[in-house]
Amino acid sequence: MSNKMHIKMTVNGKAEEFLAEPRELLIYTLRERLNVTGPHIGCETSHCGACTVTLNGKSVKACTLFVAQADGAELTTIEGLGTPDSLHVLQEAFREHHGLQCGYCTPGMITRASKLLEENPTPTEEEVRFGMAGNMCRCTGYQNIVKSILAAAAEMNAAKEAAQ
Amino acid sequence: MKDLNEEQQERAAGLKGLGCSRKRVEDARFTQGKGNYVDDIKMPGMLHGDFVRSPYAHARVKSINTDAAMALDGVVAVLTAKDLEPLSLHWMPTLAGDKQMVLADGKVLFQGQEVAFVVARDRFIAADAVELVEVEYEELPVIVNPFEALQSDVVLREDLAGQTEGAHGPRKHHNHIFTWEVGEKDATEQVLGDAEVVAEETVYYHRTHPCPLETCGAVASMDKVNGKLTVWGTFQAPHVVRTVASLLSGIEEHNIRVVSPDIGGGFGNKVGVYPGYVCAIVASIVTGVPVKWIEDRMENLMSTAFARDYWMTGKISATKEGKITGLHCHVTADHGAFDACADPTKFPAGFMNICTGSYDIPTAYLAVDGVYTNKAPGGVSYRCSFRVTEAAYFIERMIEVLAIELNMDAAELRRINFIKKEQFPYQSALGWEYDSGDYHTAWDKALKAVDYEGLRKEQADRVEAFKRGETRKLMGVGLSFFTEIVGAGPVKNCDILGMGMFDSCEIRIHPTGSAIARLGTISQGQGHATTFAQILASEIGISADSITIEEGDTDTAPYGLGTYGSRSTPVAGAATALAGRKIRAKAQMIAAYLLEVHDNDLEWDVDRFVVKGAPERFKTMKEIAYAAYNQAIPGVEPGLEAVSYYDPPNMTYPFGAYVCVMDIDVDTGVQEIRKFYALDDCGTRINPMIIEGQVHGGLTEALAVALGQEIAYDDMGNVKTGTFMDFFLPTAWEVPNYITDHTVTPSPHHPIGAKGVGESPHVGGVPCFSNAVNDAFRAFGLRHTHMPHDHWRIWQTANRLGLHD
Ligand code: FES
Ligand code: FES
């Protein structure tokens, strides 16, 4: 169809190129077109954060971005954070501290948390709670999510120190 | 159980059985984005369905024109009631003995009701086509208030016109559904009439919604070659869905496979059968290709599974010293357009008759009137066991009101009325047999932990300071003591659509000593794959890490009634333990043969059978498993498998004591939770880490409901809270850290003494938060104010009490 746009993007290090209607929402591009189903849909109104991905170094909600807005972008989703043999520290910490139950919010949570810890490697509990307020969880009551993120931060900082 | 020596303890610890805070086996896939939820399912040629929904709460449907929609490229079908009628699928039975429109048949009865189902190549085209379906409506008078409904001449359910008998007895009015009565009416009225003190109050438990993060959805695939229908979906009760699908469609049950994949939270939302599921199935049958239907958030909040909406009027009587003598409760229950509650058949108001709570109340009476209005159907148990949340809220508010009436401390009033430890099993005035409890111990522990006396002293000082103009913040101490009733339930009185509410477990031990167990339940985040393996590990001596738990596929799992009402551990958990014991019984015979002794000469020792008096002679479960498949043992069949269907003899009755300390700014209405202490007694504890996680989650859902979450309608029946903009879901920023604690009073009738815990924090949490708000204003003359206590309503309360003057 004539109104399709030529889109290029990098998703988890892999170059992607395709034609898409400009109105296609980024979350559908990821989930339906590229089979990247880690990010989920919880509201489609930018409230819940289940769809959180990293776009050009910023946390964004993929449900309310058009694919056209992500043309040329570099994207990281939960699938790009760790591998089964070498999990991201946050992926380990969420398991260790029971930071998830149904798991539906988890990909968005961890993706957001990874960004948060880049922005602020030594957050206080309050800063974690504030920095994660764009991601909703219906199961955990957040207490163990906060615990997981603080534990991951501590671990990452300890590793950094040890490396110096 | 006898005490284990050090070496035995080490072996037992290696099993990761009961009591171990084992890390969850589910987490690896979820943390890596590899969960498999229904919307992740993709099939070749799959089409997408989307609904045309009614903008009106009550209207006649004059005509539906689908031409323009059908003309759109990529649209494959548009279904209306007319298309479903030849299949008798334009209406479907509800779980509550009523029936419900699948697609609007002549009229619509609530805003958001399903009118037509568009099937298209992708979601975007389907959404475009929805806009192109032209529906002509003629508006009818809207009734959103149940009291008005019972007075009105407007007949909401024309299909029931003239029917004076409903599924649960006589109907008093054309908008009336049922009256359900329990207890002794005359005796209760007598007691109230003679009482020294009577407190009265109307307590409204507002309409809200379970709102799991994942909405409802399904993928239906009719394989016309094999005649097999497969349906994947967000089902808390997949086996029931299979049976219902078979009854509705006429497809034989063995030709239907229902699968619940990973579920993104349920909380009661995913118990019911919704028009979307039916339409996806019909569309797949019609088109011959798989059809997916996923509701969006607005559809979820507007049309599937509301909870509560109970107007509860109570009278509670007591002696001057505070000994409760009687309780009277009348409920006007707003069920919306169809009675679609998912309660056991004989309980049209669920277990509302647990409303005598944790107290020894000799005489009581409960009557519930169900009413139709122009609101969405549902009435599901939102993180609770069949209206237990309503019951707990009611009694815990009534206790507070009575305390005010008696000018007594509310903690003390509870203490003198608790059922005593030695009274268990306790027969309640409204018909339940509480299995076990030790309320006084739990209460004392809780009050001590929070320094209750200190809190009251601080509160009194604060009131004085407020009066002197030194502060604008009041302090509330919220108390609640709840008794849940979970684990439905005994087949003799609990069924859904005629199917007894047993549950099941089937175990296969593999030759090398690992195992798979399948259950009739389905996890939606509770961690069954982790905890059921722990139950089994302790029973059969195989490490939980070597046991796979599988649920949710009706082709492989044994029949069960699913997961809701905290029934998984009480019922399926019991089945698991008993199936494990069957395995052990056979293993004992095999071990006896291998060791050349009599069965009775063996005793069980953590993970092995040992010859009594000769501890060096033993066979481990691993060795026994191998022998079961590799040796011909006279008189014993090869293999090591067992199945158990468990019909519980009684419900289980978890309980707990909660305290919330809250500061309230009277000028802004903002509440701040300073402390929340939660003591839970769920009997035997399987995995403390998971229990604690369940408590955090349940309390947060309680906080939401008490402090702001509601499904609100305007007079025209428009839903005012259709997105997360207006429907309150707390974020990490609004939620406190909780202090958790426990006592352990095992259930005497459960094989491992476990009672279930997932819903307790919600049941006990809501009254605790609400009581804290009400308590803050007690010194200024407040008796009761309705939830949800958002900032605006709290401000209004303060204003009404003259605190802004
Ligand atoms: S789905 Fe994107 S924020 Fe909820
Ligand atoms: S774990 Fe279920 S929504 Fe967060």
pLDDT at position B564 is: 79
Each residue's pLDDT tens digit, B17-70: 999 999 999 999 999 999 999 999 999 999 999 999 999 999 999 999 999 999
- Residues A11, A76 within the same domain: yes
Mean predicted confidence (pLDDT) in B537-550 = 96
- Residues A99, A75 within the same domain: no
What is the CATH code for B38-140+215-263+270-303? 3.90.1170.50
Nearest residue to B678 via CA among B669, B667, B691: B691
Judged by CB atoms closer than 8 Å, whether chains meet at A47 and B724 is answered as yes
* B-chain residues near A110 (CB < 8 A): 31
Residue tagged 């063996």 (tokens): B602
Which residues of chain B from 729 to 748 reach within 8 Å of chain A, CB to CB?
729, 731-733, 735, 737-738
Judged by CB atoms closer than 8 Å, whether chains meet at B265 and A102 is answered as yes
Separation between Cα atoms, residue B673 and residue B738, nearest integer Å: 10
Measure CB to CB from residue B214 to each of A38, A95, A104 and give the nearest one.
A104
Residue A83 has pLDDT above 70, yes or no: yes
Distance of CA B115 to the CA centre of its chain: 29
Residue B463 has pLDDT above 50, yes or no: yes
Separation between Cα atoms, residue B755 and residue B426, nearest integer Å: 16
Separation between Cα atoms, residue B559 and residue B249, nearest integer Å: 20
Q: Three-state SS for B371?
A: strand
Measure CB to CB from residue A136 to each of B35, B40, B731 and give the nearest one.
B731
Distance A3 CA to ligand 1 centre (A): 26
Judged by CB atoms closer than 8 Å, whether chains meet at A143 and B690 is answered as no
**How many domains, in total, are found in chain A?**
2
Separation between Cα atoms, residue B86 and residue A164, nearest integer Å: 75
pLDDT at position B2 is: 61
Judged by CB atoms closer than 8 Å, whether chains meet at A87 and B31 is answered as yes
Pocket of ligand 2 (CB under 6 A): A 100-106, 137-140; B 213, 265, 525
Burial class (CB in 10 A: 0-12, 13-18, 19+), B187: middle
Would you call B131 an interface residue with chain A, using a CB distance cutoff of 8 Å?
no
What residue of A is the nearest CA neighbor of B297? A43
Mean predicted confidence (pLDDT) in A112-141 = 97
Q: Which residues fall within 8 angstroms of residue B675, CB to CB, at 6 or more apart?
A: B450, B659, B660, B661, B736, B739
Residue B270 has pLDDT above 60, yes or no: yes
Is B383 part of the annotated catalytic residue set? yes
Pocket of ligand 1 (CB under 6 A): A 41-44, 46-51, 61, 63
Is B341 part of the annotated catalytic residue set? no
Judged by CB atoms closer than 8 Å, whether chains meet at B30 and A106 is answered as yes
Query: Which ligand ends up closest to the CA of B39?
Result: 1
Residue B554 is encoded by which pair of tokens?
């009706």
- Residues A95, A53 within the same domain: no
Each residue's pLDDT tens digit, B582-606: 999 999 999 999 999 999 999 999 9
What residue of B is the nearest CA neighbor of A24? B124
Is B505 part of the annotated catalytic residue set? no
- Residues A40, A101 within the same domain: no
Separation between Cα atoms, residue B27 and residue B36, nearest integer Å: 12
- Residues A107, A46 within the same domain: no
Separation between Cα atoms, residue A147 and residue B698, nearest integer Å: 18
What is the CATH code for B503-646? 3.30.365.10
Identify the band that residue B501 occupies on the pLDDT scale cut at 50, 70 and 90: confident
Residue tagged 């207006």 (tokens): B726
Distance A39 CA to ligand 1 centre (A): 9
What is the CATH code for B306-487+651-800? 3.30.365.10
- Residues A73, A114 within the same domain: no
Distance B335 CA to ligand 2 centre (A): 29
Distance A43 CA to ligand 1 centre (A): 5
Exposed e or buried b for every residue in B255-280, given b needs 16+ CB within 10 A? ebbbbbbbbbbbbbbbbbbbbbbbbb
* A-chain residues near B264 (CB < 8 A): 40, 102-104
Mean predicted confidence (pLDDT) in A78-87 = 95
- Residues A75, A95 within the same domain: no
Mean predicted confidence (pLDDT) in B239-268 = 92
- Provide the 8-state DSSP code for B241: H
pLDDT at position A159 is: 94
Residue B725 is encoded by which pair of tokens?
């903009």
Domain that holds residue A128: 89-163
Q: Three-state SS for B109?
A: coil
3-state SS of B76-93? EEEECHHHHHHHCCCEEE
Is B22 part of the annotated catalytic residue set? no
Mean predicted confidence (pLDDT) in B713-738 = 97
CATH number at residue A104: 1.10.150.120
- Residues A14, A61 within the same domain: yes
Separation between Cα atoms, residue B317 and residue B190, nearest integer Å: 11
Judged by CB atoms closer than 8 Å, whether chains meet at A98 and B297 is answered as no
Separation between Cα atoms, residue B341 and residue B565, nearest integer Å: 13
3-state SS of B564-603? CCCCHHHHHHHHHHHHHHHHHHHHHHHHHHHHCCCHHHEE
Which of A61, A80, A99 is a domain's end point? A80
Each residue's pLDDT tens digit, B100-149: 999 999 999 999 999 999 999 999 999 999 999 999 999 999 999 999 99
- Tell me if ipTM is over 0.90: yes
* B-chain residues near A50 (CB < 8 A): 213
Would you call B600 an interface residue with chain A, using a CB distance cutoff of 8 Å?
no
Residue B356 has pLDDT above 50, yes or no: yes
Instruction: Give chain A's length.
Output: 164
Residue B150 has pLDDT above 50, yes or no: yes
pLDDT at position A1 is: 46
Separation between Cα atoms, residue B621 and residue B642, nearest integer Å: 15
To the nearest 10 degrees (0 to 180), the angle between helices A106-119 and A89-96 is 120
Nearest residue to B178 via CA among B335, B42, B13, B313: B335
Percent of chain B with pLDDT over 90: 87
* A-chain residues near B689 (CB < 8 A): 98
Which residues of chain B from 24 to 83 reach within 8 Å of chain A, CB to CB?
24, 26-35, 37, 39-40, 42
pLDDT at position B735 is: 97
Number of H helices, E strands in chain B: 20, 35
* A-chain residues near B234 (CB < 8 A): none
pLDDT at position A2 is: 54
- Residues A59, A113 within the same domain: no
Separation between Cα atoms, residue B549 and residue B519, nearest integer Å: 8
Residue B686 is encoded by which pair of tokens?
């399987």
Nearest residue by C-alpha to atom 4 in ligand 2: A137
- Residues A104, A142 within the same domain: yes
Quick check: do B306-487+651-800 and B503-646 share a fold? Answer: yes
pLDDT at position B608 is: 96
- Sign of the CA dihedral with B571 first, then B572, B574, and B578 last: positive
Residue ranges of domains in chain B: 38-140+215-263+270-303, 306-487+651-800, 503-646
Nearest residue to B308 via CA among B393, B198, B183: B393
Which residues of chain B from 262 to 291 reach within 8 Å of chain A, CB to CB?
262-265, 267
Each residue's pLDDT tens digit, B399-453: 999 999 999 999 999 999 999 999 999 999 999 999 999 999 999 999 999 999 9
> Maximum CA pair distance of chain A?
56
Residue tagged 């008798």 (tokens): B88
Average of per-residue pLDDT values in chain B = 95
Which of A80, A97, A121 is a domain's end point? A80
Mean predicted confidence (pLDDT) in B669-677 = 97
- Residues A71, A100 within the same domain: no
Judged by CB atoms closer than 8 Å, whether chains meet at B31 and A45 is answered as no
Nearest residue to A91 via CA among A77, A110, A73, A116: A110
Q: Which residue out of B405, B484, B551, B759 is catalytically annotated?
A: B759
Identify the band that residue B563 occupies on the pLDDT scale cut at 50, 70 and 90: confident
Nearest CA distance, B762 vs chain A (angstrom): 12
CATH number at residue A59: 3.10.20.30
Which of A47, A80, A113 is a domain's end point? A80
